[in-house]
Amino acid sequence: MGDMEKVLDGEASELYKLLHGIDEEYQKDLLSENIEAEKKRTDNAASILIELVHLIAAYLSDKRVRNDKNKESISFRRIVDMYTILHQTARTKHSLLIRYRGFPNDKNAEVSPDYEIIYGNTTIDSAATAEIMKRLGVAKTSLADHLQSAFQNLFRNKVYSLYLRYRGKNKSETRRFHDSIRALAHFQDAAASDQTIRFRSDAGKEVIYPLMRNHDDVHDENLTLLGICNNIKSDSLASMIKKISSTNLTSQYMSVYNAIFSVKKLRGRLIRPSIEINNVVWLLADQEKEVLTQEKSEVAQFAIKHAGGSPLEAAKILKSVYGKDYERINATDDLGERLQVSSDFLTSVDKAPKSKEMRQEILGNIEQRLDKVSDHVIDDLFSQAQADAYASDQKSGFLGAIHGKLSNAVTFYKKRIDTKKKMRQIVNNAVKFNLNDFETLSKDFEISVEDAKALIEMLKTCFDENGKFIRGAFRAIMPEFSRYERKIFEFLWHYLREYVHQSDRRAFLSSLQLLLARMQKPKMAVKTLLEDFYQEPEQISYSDTKALMLCSLLIRKYSQELVDLEFTPEDILKVKEGLDKGVVDYTAWRISKDQNNFFDKIKTIHRTVIEVIDIGENEKFPLPPEYLLKLEREVYIFLSLVGGVTARSVVISALKDYSDPESPLYKGTHSHQYINVLLQNLRITVRGLGRLGSVEDLHYLDTLRTNGERLAALGNSATTKKLISRISDWAEESRKAIVDLEAYQSEESNAANASVN
């Protein structure tokens, strides 16, 4: 704070700001504000989700609710209303999964019964809730307490998974949901007294249904709900259960209930209940499309056996094997606890009849997940193990105490870290590799030791004695490099680019385009590039532009023509059929999954553009305005190609900012120097809207047309006027594309409805 502002009181300070004595307006921009609004919407949806889970848990656990018709009706209506608000706020409809986890991501979390809530790409736990509260400024007594209350209610009632497939499509679905949740609420009381379930259906009819028993002759909620939901006579359902139980399907699918839906004929005739409770499947899968293999099934069943029949303990074991959050582990204690749980499980598996097959399944999955753990966490684990061993006069400490094969797996990743450090020094040609390094590379790249030696020699030929990158040598060995696909790209991108001489980085990064053009499995490269792009959302690096260029290249079916270009051509926005849908969908999902980090990165780029245009290149912003504007251009092209909710939000926000003559983009000290480049970025957003927009977005194009003359006046040149004219043409083309698509989709919908009727 400057001296002038210190001496001004609040009221005078505001007046002084209005008179431009203190001008902070360049720090605000429409794109950043819109992104913040979108993030807030997402956080609001998450908080609504927490409230929904709180209501559901309370409904199922409160006897006063299920025994009082009026209270029950009010409680259910609250759940449905909260679902409606969630669907409106989240703008998507998904099934809802609540499951016991066993490994909290936040050591300081107050919620001891540790669950996670999964809704589409949104995952909420105690740690995520703390972050949401911080961003929304919500009092601790609201969200956190409701989350804790919900999880404790579930824990007390021995619920380890709850899956709800309610989307509020029509009254019929709501009635089924009401009957399912009401029957489930009455199940415990009925089971305790071994009586039939009695309740009034949503339609007012009295429902009396006996509790169904599974293949273990235990009362089963899901089978009972299946009978009620489909109005199956209890004798007929019991006969079906007996018949299915006599096959090996029950073992393969882990329950009679799951086995019933594995039979095509039955699956086509039966309606799945709106709710499933304590289905082991939901400890392994996040959504219904996920394939449950025989190997997973056997591991899950053995985990329950190893846990003494306790599903909650089994959940912890399965999380250590199949958990999808290893990349978020940031504490040595967390990793150590998981390894200990896995180790105990493996020791038990060693004594089982199918020990070899299960051990391979378990170790294979743990190794895949260790691959995602940050290097520093594994380094810290080894440092801690050495310290513990020294303190206790043992030889190997923790790592010597766990299962041998698991210890070998962890040790491999430590060796890989050390070998990577050596590989980074290839540029200097001073490092020497030993047999241990080659064996580590051999396993990592899935090649022979001799091939690993050859790979190192090939990498060395790409640099001269002074460490200068030799592009020709790189091109010459490209066919050999492409054999190693993802592994070699990850290494070159993550570890070598920072060590290449600054003067060579442009040539080096361009050479990577050649490698990517040969890739057969581009999704992993997209993951690598995107994670690197927004890993530190507050930072901008020279490679950010290239990361987005490479992503735009990877989602193309035919990308050879792009490999030698310095930037992505704008005409790529015309491409429709030439995109690889599988890669595009994966990319959109990846961006949506990490939406907040992606949003923050875009904000950083845009605000830096505004500040550099205003104050110029300096120590704080060492990258020139030309580069930053080019980077922002690549952002909008990439997002326009990918599509999805997050992409559309960013492109529309950018269009609003770039089409406003009063935007800080055009008010900076040096804005006049870059006016035509700024307008070219505006053109990208206009064309992007043509790909991503809907009829409700057409008013943004109307605003642009209204502002056309004022935008043209900013440059006061023939070139600027020509640019604005061309932008107006593209605005009309985008309008037409949106209207035509809307008409086509309407025709398709009408045709589909007609065929049903």
Question: What DSSP string runs through 284-306?
Answer: H-SSTTS---HHHHHHHHHHHHH
Taking CA atoms, 675 is separated from 678, 689, 731, in Å, by: 5, 21, 19
Backbone phi, psi, residue 98, to 5°: -120, 125
d(CA 297, CA 279): 12
The C-alpha atoms of residue 399 and residue 386 are separated, in whole angstroms, by: 9
Residues making up the chain, counted from first to last? 757
651 lies in the same domain as 739: yes
Question: What DSSP state is assigned to residue 273?
Answer: P
Task: With respect to residue 22, please indicate whether it lies within any of the assigned structural domains.
Answer: no
Which pTM was predicted? 0.81
**Residue 474 structural domain:** 431-515
Sheet containing 96-100: which strands, arranged edge to edge?
122-124, 115-119, 96-100, 161-164, 275-277
What 39-44 contacts at long range (C-beta under 8 Å, 24+ apart), as own/partner pairs, is 39/135, 39/595, 39/596, 39/599, 40/135, 40/136, 41/89, 42/90, 42/122, 42/595, 42/596, 43/132, 43/135, 43/136, 44/89, 44/136
- 265 CB burial (10 A radius; 0-12, 13-18, 19+): exposed
Of 344-348, 502-506, 750-754, which range is least confident? 750-754
What is the rounded CA–CA span in Å between residue 507 and residue 496? 13
723 plus 669 within the same structural domain: yes
| Identity of the amino acid at 681 | N
What is the distance between the alpha carbons of residues 90 and 80, in angstroms, rounded to a whole number?
15
Do 383 and 468 fall into the same domain? no
Of the candidates 93, 92, 82, which has an alpha carbon nearest to the alpha carbon of residue 56?
82
Is 85 a residue whose pLDDT tops 70? yes
- Asked if 608 and 715 sit in the same domain, the reply is yes
Predicted confidence (pLDDT) per residue in 148-173, tens digit: 999 999 999 999 999 999 999 899 99
695 DSSP assignment? G
> What one-letter code names the amino acid at 362?
I
Is pLDDT of 471 > 90? no
CB atoms inside a 10 Å sphere around CB 209: 21
Query: In this structure, is residue 167 part of a structural domain?
Result: no
Q: Tell me if 665 sits within 8 A of 613, measured CB to CB.
A: yes
* Cβ proximity of 86 and 49 under 8 Å: yes
All residues at 6 or more sequence positions from 525 whose CB lies less than 8 Å from its CB, including other chains: 486, 489, 516, 519, 550, 554
Q: Is the pLDDT of residue 686 over 50?
A: yes
Binned at pLDDT 50, 70 and 90, residue 360 comes out as very high
Who's near 641: CB < 8 A, 6+ residues apart? Answer: 552, 555, 572, 573, 575, 579, 584, 691
**Amino acid making up residue 721:** K
CA distances from 537 to 77, 491, 606, 640, 681 (A): 42, 22, 12, 21, 21
Question: What is each CA distance from 299 to 336, 354, 448, in whole angstroms?
Answer: 21, 10, 31
Is the pLDDT at 10 greater than 90, yes or no? no
Q: Is residue 147 part of a domain?
A: no
- The pair phi, psi for residue 123, each rounded to 5°, is -125, 125
Of 562, 539, 544, the C-alpha closest to 552 is 562
Listed range (173-182, 507-516, 639-648) with the worst mean pLDDT:
507-516
DSSP letter (8 states) at residue 93: -
Q: Same structural domain for residues 448 and 563?
A: no
CA distance 500 to 655: 37
The reply to whether 313 and 377 lie within a common domain is yes
Residue 64 has pLDDT above 80, yes or no: yes
Confidence of residue 139 (pLDDT cuts 50, 70, 90): low
Between 96 and 8, the more confident residue is 96
Indicate the residue type of 323: G
At 699 the pLDDT is 95
**What is the structure's pLDDT at 109?**
47
How far from 567 is each of 124, 632, 651, CA to CA, in Å? 38, 12, 19
Does residue 443 form part of some domain?
Answer: yes
Q: Does 527 lie in the same domain as 472?
A: no
Token pair of 178 as six digits: 């009401």
Cβ contacts of residue 558 below 8 Å, gap of 6+? 578
Q: Are residues 511 and 588 in the same domain?
A: no
CB atoms closer than 10 angstroms to residue 340: 16
Backbone angles phi, psi at 287, to 5 degrees: -150, 165
Amino acid at 270: L
User: Residue 241: phi, psi to the nearest 5?
Assistant: -60, -45
The mean pLDDT of the chain is 86
* Same domain membership, residue 635 and residue 534: yes
Structure letter (DSSP) for residue 272? P
Across 571-576, average pLDDT: 87
Q: Residue 591: name the closest of 644, 653, 630 by CA.
A: 644
Residue 14: what pLDDT?
42
* CA 272 from centre of chain: 27
User: Is 584 among the domain residues?
Assistant: yes
The listed range with the strongest mean pLDDT (146-155, 510-519, 739-748) is: 146-155
DSSP string, 475-487: HHTHHHHGGGHHH
Q: Are residues 310 and 332 in the same domain?
A: yes
Q: Which residue has the tokens 């979390």?
A: 109
Does some domain include residue 340? yes
DSSP-based three-state secondary structure for 510? helix
pLDDT tens for each residue of 626-666: 999 999 999 999 999 999 888 999 999 999 999 999 999 99
Q: At 36, which amino acid appears?
A: E
**Range from 93-97, 376-380, 515-519 that averages highest in pLDDT:** 93-97
395 and 499, same domain (yes or no)? no
pLDDT at 211: 96
| Residues contacting residue 408 through CB under 8 Å, at least 6 positions apart | none
- How many percent of the chain have pLDDT more than 90? 51
By the 8 A CB rule, do 363 and 406 touch?
yes
The pair of three-digit structure tokens given for residue 643, joined into one six-digit string = 């599509």
Q: Which residue has the higher pLDDT, 494 or 684?
A: 684
Say how far apart CA 658 and CA 685 lie, in whole Å: 8
Residue 479 included in any domain? yes
pLDDT-derived band at 112 (thresholds 50, 70, 90) equals: low
Number of domains in the chain: 3
316 with 334, same domain: the answer is yes
CA distance 64 to 189: 12
**Rounded distance, CA 438 to CA 457, Å?**
12
In a domain, 585, yes or no: yes
